[in-house]
Structure 1
């Protein structure tokens, strides 16, 4: 039985993968080196319409940095109004903030277009690229403009306030101040999906296991995770990210019906036989060799297999997308 996503609950639209920050926990490996491509109003409307047709009545807008292109964001807000999609919030790292008056003016204009709420990232990981001054500046500007705000996650404020608010501080500075077990404390305090860059950030406290142990512990299939639509994402290219598995994709247009196994061999293999089947598939056809240092979990193994496939020029499907995701692996 192939993968079938026929119901969407709550999710977001990735407006761009470009971001001033390159946070060490970023699931989608956003950063300044990514393409500046931004979702068009037409694509946003198509994604919203598909989500609505599958039962999802509200979404958020994320990235990358959605406010890196205010005109592009205005198009997303227009697409939401056009389709009747309720936008819960727009995410921002506050990297774009420069001047208080300019920020208030921009957010006031966007509020008139439909921006009602802003999620402002606040964490030690973001502080490596965004000074606390900018974060607090965006929070204040939004309140002045009449845009609701919620810092994500506010419980990190005391940690970040231990440093100079005018400067950025790499994560190594937090390790030096709070100790080598600080990443483990972060995982106890907040939920972070282990994917993208997060494997390297948390591996020192979680440890890595040899491939044999990963395969022995893994379930027979990954169908439940891939079909989970409780917090889904669509992106600017018209791709749907199954189960928060960044770097894996199916076309938004193909949602609502069973995926064609010939068009989606990787997703089909994972859904039917799990990471063990995918590992055997890659080892037999593409001479994949596991890393001697092992993996945090089956998801890191899966990501590494997919990295290997892209380096081998594997173009049997469009599932390994966006290709830029794998460039830095």
Structure 2
């Protein structure tokens, strides 16, 4: 809720889709945020996808935008008219912390009535959530009270959750500790940062790595090979690993490491937070700043 009320512009969507098409990508899925909070904005993006011959595999939604069946069916029909035939609908306790389950059920019903396909993510949580009062959200603490204290610890594996950002903040107290020195000794290049098997492009046109939100390089630069001197933090992690990043931030920015961390990702986030939040630096590869400010 604290993030700026921004949305990908048609111009940016046109630029992103044209680059992706040129690089051999023929289809994408659209996520957020919540893409359907502003249906008129998503339609502009879909027009640009069509212009660049990019298919939409599905749009991710958490159903928060559902108000009533009539207006929802109108939106769904417009999406179909613009080439969208599947919605991925989030079904999990993490979203249920903020969104009552009745909205998820109602959206699925509306999709059925207009023949919009539903990709439920994940059905294995349906019974867990459906056992709660569907008229209101439920905290993770409530789930622990109903299903046992180990329920929260099991959720990341069941959901396939990467422990980064808010997830790291939630689960950090449950994670084992490693010494700073041990983390450096086990340092390996973070090759997933440059992986293109599954990545995202944000609303500002930045490449977001598969494994690590909070890092960004403009796609228009990356297509030609980004300047390693400009994106020094990204380069240090991708080429050397956490030890390379630590060496950089200690020597050049005065970071003082703690005795221990909840693994290398905790150390990485601590150093990034130090640079963005404590020093207030505007570094090109640590974007968007909101990822650090509003986690």
**What TM-score, normalized to structure 2?**
0.94
Post-superposition offset of 1:292: 5.3
* 2:290 aligned partner: 324
Per the alignment, do residues 228 and 267 of structure 1 end up closer, same or farther by CA in structure 2, a change over 3 Å counting?
Answer: same
Aligned-partner Cα distance in 1 for 2:40–2:249: 43
Q: Say which SS state the counterpart of residue 59 (structure 1) adopts.
A: strand
Q: SS state of the match for residue 214, structure 1?
A: helix
**Contact 1:288–1:305 (Cα < 8 Å) also in 2:** yes
CA displacement at 1:322 relative to structure 2: 0.6
Unpaired stretches in structure 1, ≥5 consecutive residues:
1-31
Normalized per residue, which structure has more helix?
A: 2
Mapping for residues 105-116 of structure 1, pairs under 5 Å = 105-116=74-85
> Do the aligned partners of residues 179 and 209 (structure 1) sit closer, same or farther apart at CA in structure 2, a change above 3 Å counting?
farther
Other-structure match for 1:304: 270
Q: Supply the distance in 1 between the matched residues of 2:210 and 2:193 (Cα, whole angstroms).
A: 4
Residues of 1 paired with 2:106 and 2:268: CA distance? 40
Matches within 5 A, 1:40-189: 40-189=9-158
Among 230, 233, 238, which residue is 2:200 paired with? 233
Q: 1:131 to 1:308 in 2, by over 3 A?
A: same
The answer to whether the aligner puts 1:193 opposite 2:162 as a matched pair is yes
Structure 1: how far apart are the matches of 2:257 and 2:67? 46
Q: Deviations over 1:45-64 (max 9, x none)?
A: 21111112222211100000
TM-aligned CA deviation for residue 205 of structure 1? 3.7
Q: Which has the higher contact order (CA 8 A, sep 6+)?
A: 1
**Within the alignment, does 1:210 sit opposite 2:179 as a pair?**
yes
Residue 204 (structure 1) shift? 3.9
Distance 2:153 2:294 in 1: 25
Choose from 216, 236, 248 the match for 1:249.
216
TM-score (norm 1): 0.85
Give a deviation string over 1:77-135, Cα, whole Å, max 9, x none.
Answer: 10110000011000111011111122112211221122211000010111111111001
Aligned residues: 294
